Amino acid sequence: MADISKVPYSRIEIKKYKDIISPVLYNEILTLGEKLKRIKIAVVNSTASGGGVAEILKSLIPMFESIGINIAWYVTRTEPNFFSTTKKLHNLLQGQQGKFSDKELKQYIDTNKQIAEQLKQLNSDVLIINDPQPLSAGAEVCKKFKTVWHCHVDTSFVNEWARAMIVPFVNKYSRVIFSLSEYELEGINKDKLLFFPPAIDPLSLKNVIINRDFAENMLRRFKIDPRRPILVQISRFDHWKDPLGVIKSYLQVRKHFPDSQLILTGSLPEDDPEAIQVIQEIKDKTINDENIFILSDRDGLGSIEINALQTIADVVIQKSKREGFGLTVTEAMWKKNPVVGGKTGGIKVQIEDGISGFLVETIEQCTNAVITLLKDVNLKTRMGEKAKESVREKYLMPRLLRDYMLMLIGMT
């Protein structure tokens, strides 16, 4: 049986963000907050840790609460193999070929009906559902709540079967949020649509600015040598993130920088059963290479260790082939580390090619961009400054809070 459970989270004080964002945005948030004091919001997704959505909710929800808004966070609890079906839906939405079998479709609909029974018990006015896993559950309860579907997936190359399957559910919602306008799906009523990108929390353990010595010491624990060049990609282990392409590129870079190291680290979230297969595939391919480190949250890499890696990396790579947004890119840029990123989805919006990082499509382009940054530290510093300023302007959590509040005011 599927159900939902409430997620605990740490408190946040909005006034701590006052000096990081503009006074105009800070005051706007407080004013909008006054207008939303009476509504109750419930937010639902499929995992409390690992991956971008959990990362956003961990900060966005307590930030809402810090301005006096009544909000609660729930995750769905389902049979483990439900996530094999929903990962397939995720892949189809990102453009993979194929479709659900009758059994998978039945499992998706039935599990969501069970989740919907639990959602009906919530004492809320607005229900915000994240991503495709609980999508049809939200559609089931659209008469009881005002409903919002927030899709974080890159749907620019959507599989037609998947599009046709989800659109009737999506159209039952009051509002639908995509990170970019190019993700709009044919058939969704235009008057429901909103486009705004996600954001990072500059004061979370993942993003708070830490000192280099502290970061270096932390990484020695994993046998990473901070005196040698470090290349990293930090991602879920997912073929859309092209970890094998990153390894190929690193092997080319190593011809020029023989003492360089590659670190591929990824979380293994509960709702991504493919991650275990992908990490195994990578480990098998790199087993005899002591300069390639394959790590995960299960090796003790939490938020502060990821922060340390993003802080001291000589080059951060995010060579995705599809990317809804790419918080890992934002996180590195916030630490003044320009990123070599795949020219796709949210990455191409975040990186100004040649100015605040490099956009690449092929292994050769990736290799050349990495070598350029390794050779030219002054260029890296200049790009890093630009990268940080663009995150400050566009991709910090208070801006996302403001966009959400404007949406909610328009609905109530």
Strands 126-130 and 3-6: unpaired
The DSSP 8-state label assigned to residue 208 in this structure reads: S
Under the binding rule (CB under 6 A), the answer on residue 89 touching ligand UDP is: no
Q: In Å, how far from its chain's centre is CA 389?
A: 20
Quick one: residue 326, left, alpha or beta (phi over 0 = left, psi -120 to 50 = alpha)? Answer: left
**Measured at CB, which residue is nearest to ligand UDP?**
52
Collect all residues with Cβ–Cβ distance below 8 Å to 249 and sequence separation of at least 6: 317, 319, 363, 366, 367, 370
Nearest approach, Cβ of residue 65 and ligand UDP (Å): 21
Nearest approach, Cβ of residue 92 and ligand UDP (Å): 16
Q: Kindly state the number of chain residues that form the binding site for ligand UDP, as judged by CB under 6 A.
A: 19
Structure-block tokens of residue 106: 């039945």
Strands 357-360 and 175-178: unpaired
Q: Which of 180, 306, 313, 405 lies at the binding interface for ligand UDP (CB under 6 A)?
A: 306
Under the binding rule (CB under 6 A), the answer on residue 345 touching ligand UDP is: no
Under the binding rule (CB under 6 A), the answer on residue 48 touching ligand UDP is: no
Nearest approach, Cβ of residue 325 and ligand UDP (Å): 5
Structure-block tokens of residue 291: 């300069």
Q: For residues 51 and 245, which CB has a smaller minimum distance to ligand UDP in the complex? A: 51
Under the binding rule (CB under 6 A), the answer on residue 325 touching ligand UDP is: yes
Mask for 228-267, x = binds ligand UDP (CB under 6 A): ------xxx----------------------------xxx
Which residues, 156 to 185, sit near ligand UDP by CB under 6 A?
none
Q: For residues 33 and 273, which CB has a smaller minimum distance to ligand UDP in the complex? A: 273
Nearest approach, Cβ of residue 98 and ligand UDP (Å): 20
Q: For residues 69 and 153, which CB has a smaller minimum distance to ligand UDP in the complex? A: 153
Q: For residues 236 and 399, which CB has a smaller minimum distance to ligand UDP in the complex? A: 236
Backbone angles phi, psi at 76, to 5 degrees: -80, 150
Q: For residues 104 and 297, which CB has a smaller minimum distance to ligand UDP in the complex? A: 297
The DSSP 8-state label assigned to residue 322 in this structure reads: S
Residues in the chain: 412
Chain position carrying tokens 């509504």: 39
Q: Name the one range near ligand UDP by CB under 6 A: 31-39, 49-57, 81-89, 131-139.
A: 49-57
User: Hey, CA dihedral for 372, 376, 380, 383, is it positive or negative?
Assistant: negative
CA distances from 30 to 93, 197, 268 (A): 37, 21, 37
Nearest approach, Cβ of residue 289 and ligand UDP (Å): 19
Q: Which of 21, 32, 55, 59 lies at the binding interface for ligand UDP (CB under 6 A)?
A: 55
Chain position carrying tokens 């989270």: 9
Nearest approach, Cβ of residue 308 and ligand UDP (Å): 12
Query: Which of 141, 24, 137, 13 has the alpha carbon at shortest distance from 393?
Result: 24
Under the binding rule (CB under 6 A), the answer on residue 301 touching ligand UDP is: yes
Asked whether 157 and 143 are in contact (CB, 8 A), the reply is no
Under the binding rule (CB under 6 A), the answer on residue 204 touching ligand UDP is: no
Asked whether 127 and 173 are in contact (CB, 8 A), the reply is no
Chain residues in the site for ligand UDP (CB under 6 A): 51-52, 55, 206, 234-236, 265-267, 296-297, 301, 306, 325-328, 331
